Amino acid sequence: MKVGFMGLGQMGRGMAGRLLDAGHELVVHNRSSAAAAPLQARGAQLAASPLDLLDADIVVSMLADDTAVEALCVASGFAERMPRGRLHLNMASVSLRMAQRLTDLHRAGGSDYVAAPVFGRPAAAAEGQLDIVAAGAASALARCAPLFAAMGKNVFIVGDEPHKATIVKIARNYMLAAAVESMGEAFALVRKSGVDAKAFYDLVTTTSFTGSSYRNYGKLMVERNFDNPSFPLKLGLKDIELALAAGGETRVPLPLAGMLREQHMGALNRGLGDKDWASMADYIAERAGLGEVK
């Protein structure tokens, strides 16, 4: 299949590589063309503009945020001009509002739109081991299946309207934010009574909180290993704001999220924005009088 690909960040590069591995013909576009070189070396073509991707059967986008999507997919005319019968497979995390807007633009132009955000780190992307949450028309999803197979280990279909995948991704990341905060607070609570953080970590992650969310972030909290973030705290704030915006549009009160946002704002002011999300535990500990943030 001829596949277009927009957005060659840490995630996108690995995903695009998997598509080449699977034998697809690839045309890539990225704001800085340097990121495309390794893919070009493997046979990918470089497109100067998002519009140059419009003759591909499916165009995958994996952009950083709404601003990038606005620029490359909306303002550029990409979504509006996509020909009838072509398909835009957006795998980035966007706001609920943007998901609806892209849906509308593609519907108006007669092209197809599938939202399929992913869970997983860059390493998982490079190995085709992502978890994919997908929503869109059944026929459109079927056309994406070979690409999903190349990039992911699981595909969760959550509905036939694209924004449903978007909200699922937002809600799951919001649960993650609550998990990070609650674990950080729990660590502060036991440490202030003299309990070793590692002992508490071992207990909770081998009994009721065995999930990877608790194991991974908890381990970083115990080790105070925040300097090579696989997910920086500032992106955690972005996710909370996506949840709040979605809650605002659909009128869902989110008491936890309202509070989490302010907590993250404070942590940013304390210089933790580019540290790992787990550094929230240090911010909480500092407020509890347990020494300074690292």
Residues 239-278 that bind its own copies (CB under 8 A): 241, 243-244, 246-248, 250-263, 265-266, 268-270
Q: Is 262 exposed, middle or buried (0-12, 13-18, 19+ CB in 10 A)?
A: exposed
Burial 181-201 (b: 16+ CB within 10 A, else e): bebbbbbbebbeeeeebeebb
Using CB under 8 A as the binding criterion, the count of chain residues that bind its own copies stands at: 79
Whether the CB-CB separation of 264 and 237 falls below 8 Å is answered with yes
Taking the complex as a whole, how short is the minimal distance between the CB of residue 175 and its own copies, in angstroms?
5
- Those residues whose C-beta lies under 8 Å from the C-beta of residue 74, and which sit 6 or more positions away, are 80, 101, 102, 105
Q: Is 82 exposed, middle or buried (0-12, 13-18, 19+ CB in 10 A)?
A: buried
- Binders of its own copies among residues 9 to 48 (CB under 8 A) are none
> Among 2, 164, 169, 275, which one carries the catalytic annotation?
169
- Binders of its own copies among residues 93 to 152 (CB under 8 A) are 96, 119, 131, 133
Dig out the tokens for 219 from the structure.
């381990």
* Residue-by-residue DSSP string for 265-288: HHHHHTT-TTSBGGGHHHHHHHHT
Dig out the tokens for 193 from the structure.
């009574």
- Binders of its own copies among residues 173 to 202 (CB under 8 A) are 174-176, 178-179, 181-183, 185-190, 192-196, 199-200, 202
Taking the complex as a whole, how short is the minimal distance between the CB of residue 21 and its own copies, in angstroms?
24
**φ and ψ at residue 290, rounded to 5 degrees:** -105, 40
Separation CA 34–CA 38 (nearest Å): 9
Catalytic, 169? Answer: yes
Contact stretch for its own copies (CB under 8 A) within 10-18, 51-59, 80-88, 203-211: 203-211
Q: Rule CB under 8 A: say whether 156 interacts with its own copies.
A: yes
Taking the complex as a whole, how short is the minimal distance between the CB of residue 183 and its own copies, in angstroms?
6
In whole angstroms, how far apart are CA 135 and each of 35, 94, 202? 29, 14, 37
Taking the complex as a whole, how short is the minimal distance between the CB of residue 112 and its own copies, in angstroms?
19
DSSP β-bridge partners for residue 156: 133
Q: Which is nearer to its own copies, 46 or 157 (CB)?
A: 157
Taking the complex as a whole, how short is the minimal distance between the CB of residue 68 and its own copies, in angstroms?
19
Select from 26, 79, 82, 168 the one that contacts its own copies (CB under 8 A): 168
Select from 121, 219, 287, 294 the one that contacts its own copies (CB under 8 A): 287
- Binders of its own copies among residues 74 to 103 (CB under 8 A) are 96
Contact stretch for its own copies (CB under 8 A) within 7-15, 171-179, 220-228, 274-282: 171-179
Separation CA 185–CA 260 (nearest Å): 12
Q: Which is nearer to its own copies, 42 or 107 (CB)?
A: 107
Taking the complex as a whole, how short is the minimal distance between the CB of residue 122 and its own copies, in angstroms?
16
Separation CA 235–CA 24 (nearest Å): 32
The contact mask relative to its own copies for 205-234 (x = CB under 8 A, - = no) is -xxxxxxxxx--------------------
Active site residues: 169
